[in-house]
Amino acid sequence: MTTAPAAIRLASVSKVYGSGPGAVTALDEVSLGLGRGRFTAIMGRSGSGKSTLLRCAAGSDRPTSGTVWLGDTDLSGLTQPALTRIRLRHIGFLFEADDLLPALTVEQNIALPLAERTVDRTWLRHVAAAVGLADRLGHRPSQLSGGARRRVAIARALITRPAAIVADEPAGALDTRTGRQVLQLLREIVDRTGQTVVMATHDPMSASYADRVVFLADGRLAGSLDEPCPLAIAERMTHLGAW
């Protein structure tokens, strides 16, 4: 168990899609604290509820029941505009899909989440340097490799100094080597800056970059591993009958 205070906490969170006989329970009474300054992986096979958990944790989807806390804020008590504001300010998103805007420069893409807020140029340059893009700020996404584009997305997730980065299969669409570099970069960001990261993955090697792996099976928590190695993660998945 983590002893660090939770950046995000889920308390008995359930999510049901649809109603009647066709209803799907994607999350079933999930209670989980995502430790501040820690790298947590949510691991489970396809359809186990990982993306739903991340969306509920990030405030981009509302649970059917249960409560999500972002720090001291109970997200279930918020109106939709307030929830959206909190999400944009305090959560950094990193998705599998490459969703950079092609017409904008690297710098403009990184600054996007700031919207109308003033860009702190020192911080932007610091973030760009941290992901190895200091000399690429004027480039367009089409001039970059897949790995470099993913690093732009990481910088964009960091630019608001979020309470947590929420990453859904961040290495999923990349070749193995580039995927490892992205995971290593997330690891370094956590170690160097104390950033909180939560990542969904179905790959034991990816999950082994985390401090803690939490297993999901059919929308339910199915245990966790601290300081996990890929073999132990794969073994646990096999025991869960998840493969």
- The binding site for Mg ion (CB under 5 A) comprises 50-51
- Which stretch in 6-14, 48-56, 73-81, 133-141 sits in contact with ligand ADP by CB under 6 A? 48-56
> Please, which residues have CB within 8 angstroms of residue 199's CB and are 6 or more apart in sequence?
39, 40, 41, 42, 166, 167, 168, 169, 170, 186, 206, 210
- 3-class DSSP state for residue 157? helix
Task: Tell me how crowded residue 60 is: count the other CB atoms within 10 A of its CB.
Answer: 15
Instruction: Assess 26 for contact with ligand ADP (CB under 6 A).
Output: yes
Instruction: Assess 162 for contact with ligand ADP (CB under 6 A).
Output: no
Instruction: Assess 196 for contact with ligand ADP (CB under 6 A).
Output: no
Cβ contact 31:40 at 8 Å: no
- Which stretch in 49-57, 121-129, 205-213, 230-238 sits in contact with ligand ADP by CB under 6 A? 49-57
- 3-class DSSP state for residue 15? strand
The amino acid occupying position 98 is D
Q: Shortest Cβ distance from residue 218 to ligand ADP (Å)?
A: 9
Q: Shortest Cβ distance from residue 46 to ligand ADP (Å)?
A: 4
For ligand ADP (CB under 6 A), the number of binding residues is 13
Residue 196 touches which member of Mg ion, ligand ADP, none, C-beta under 5-8 Å by kind: none
